[in-house]
Amino acid sequence: MYIAMSRRTSNVRSLQVALTAIFTALTAVATMGFSIYVPATKGYFNVGEVVVYTTAILLGPVIGAIAGGVGSMLADIILGYTIYAPGTLMIKGVEGFIVGFLASKLKAKVKVMRLLGVLSAGLVALTLWLVGSTVYSGVVEAYIGSSLIATGEVSKLFWLILAGLAFTSIAVSSFKIEPNLSMLIVAVLIGGSEMVLGYYLYESLILGYYALAEVPVNIGQMTIGLIASLPLVKTLNRISLFKILKAEQKVSQIVKSTSNP
């Protein structure tokens, strides 16, 4: 019995190490890969935040912290933004830990979760509209790495429609389909707020930059990352690999609790 449990624990740890390496690499690639830039407002967005949130919610605080911090830092180093690397390691690492920890710990009664779902849907939709219409509207440039692949124009109407869709989907899902969704949103909003504040303090106090202009951009990163990561998490949760990992983790926790009364 003990040997079987030891092997099971060893298998879980091996899988966790492999997933940590994979999602750390994915975070780096996503941060360096596809990005959107708005020259008029200097608004900038990459999909790195999506992977950070997805990893933290899916795999927990420790892997979320490692993948978020190390993966994002590697992207800064490779892209030549080495001055940001120490701050990114700490800020994104803490962000990943907060999101993963809160996503696994936050609980509430169904009625409370439904109310929070509607309130968070309104907050996300309002933030998306305000930041999108002011920072991410106008002529946009799409990049893969440093290569420009397309240009176009995004209107304020686009953000209004997207905000409406976001509100409807989040409110309906959290109220009727998946009440726990509101807890994930709260976790991401708290973790994302740490990222926004962390970069503001790092840029203003450590680097001596005028960092206030970056705040709306980082809020946009957080909001769009939130909206994109939630359906991705739901999709990945259906994969047998992650189902097995969660089941094995629960078994390991039960074994630890019974062996340490």
139 Cβ contact partners less than 8 Å away, ≥ 6 residues apart:
38, 39, 40, 151, 152, 153
Below-70 pLDDT ranges, the chain: 1-11, 41-43, 243-261
Q: Extract the runs of DSSP E, i.e. beta strands, from the chain.
A: 34-38, 43-46, 138-144, 147-154
pLDDT digits (tens, 9 = 90+) for 89-115: 999 999 999 999 999 888 878 788 888
Residue 209, helix vs strand vs coil: coil
pLDDT digits (tens, 9 = 90+) for 139-169: 888 888 778 898 999 899 999 999 999 999 8
Residue 1, helix vs strand vs coil: coil
Give residue 243's domain range: 2-259
Number of domains in the chain: 1
Q: How far is CA 165 from the centre of its chain?
A: 20
pTM of the model: 0.86
Q: Which residues pair with 151 in a beta bridge?
A: 141
Q: What is the DSSP string of 146-163?
A: TEEEEEEEE-HHHHHHHH
pLDDT digits (tens, 9 = 90+) for 28-41: 999 998 888 877 76
In the predicted model, what is the mean pLDDT of the chain? 85
pLDDT of residue 172: 86
CATH code where residue 9 lies: 1.10.1760.20
Q: Would you give the DSSP letter of residue 210?
A: -
165 Cβ contact partners less than 8 Å away, ≥ 6 residues apart:
none
Q: Give first-to-last CA distance, the chain, whole Å.
A: 18
Q: Which of 113, 237, 256 is nearest to 174 (CA)?
A: 113
CA distances, 66 to each of 55, 71, 171, 183 (Å): 10, 7, 32, 22
204 Cβ contact partners less than 8 Å away, ≥ 6 residues apart:
210, 211, 212
> Are 108 and 187 a contacting pair, CB within 8 Å?
no
> Are 127 and 219 a contacting pair, CB within 8 Å?
yes
